[in-house]
C-alpha cells in the first residue's frame, strides 16, 4: 500500500510539472505580442533605449479605435512615469 501512495504522488508531481511547463510556454507566447512590443517602445521612450524594461502587463481590452501596439505604448509610458 505504501508503494502505491508513492507512485500516486509521482504521477501527480509529473502531471503538475507538465501543466506548469504548458502554462509557462503559453504565458511566454502571450508576452511576445504587439501589445508587449508597444509597451517596450513606450517604456524606452521615457526611460531611454538602454533601460531595463519590466515584464509586460496583461493586455487590457483594446478600444475599437486603437490597436494593441498603440495601447502597449500608452501602458509603457505610464509605467515608466511611475
Mean pLDDT value of segment 53-60: 90
Residue 30 has pLDDT above 60, yes or no: no
- Per-residue pLDDT, 74: 96
Rounded percentage of the chain residues whose pLDDT exceeds 70: 85
Task: Count CB neighbours of 48 within 10 A.
Answer: 9
The rounded mean pLDDT for the chain is 85
Q: What is the pTM of this model?
A: 0.62
Beta carbons of 76 and 59 less than 8 angstroms apart: no
> All 3 cell numbers of residue 65?
479605435
> All 3 cell numbers of residue 32?
511576445
- Per-residue pLDDT, 20: 78
Amino acid at each position: 500500500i505504501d508503494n502505491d501512495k508513492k507512485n500516486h504522488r509521482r504521477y501527480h508531481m509529473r502531471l503538475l510539472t507538465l501543466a506548469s511547463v504548458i502554462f509557462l510556454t503559453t504565458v511566454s507566447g502571450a508576452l511576445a505580442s504587439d501589445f508587449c512590443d508597444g509597451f517596450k517602445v513606450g517604456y524606452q521612450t521615457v526611460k531611454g533605449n538602454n533601460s531595463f524594461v519590466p515584464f509586460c502587463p496583461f493586455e487590457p481590452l483594446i478600444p475599437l479605435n486603437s490597436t494593441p501596439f498603440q495601447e502597449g505604448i500608452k501602458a509603457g509610458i505610464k509605467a515608466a512615469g511611475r
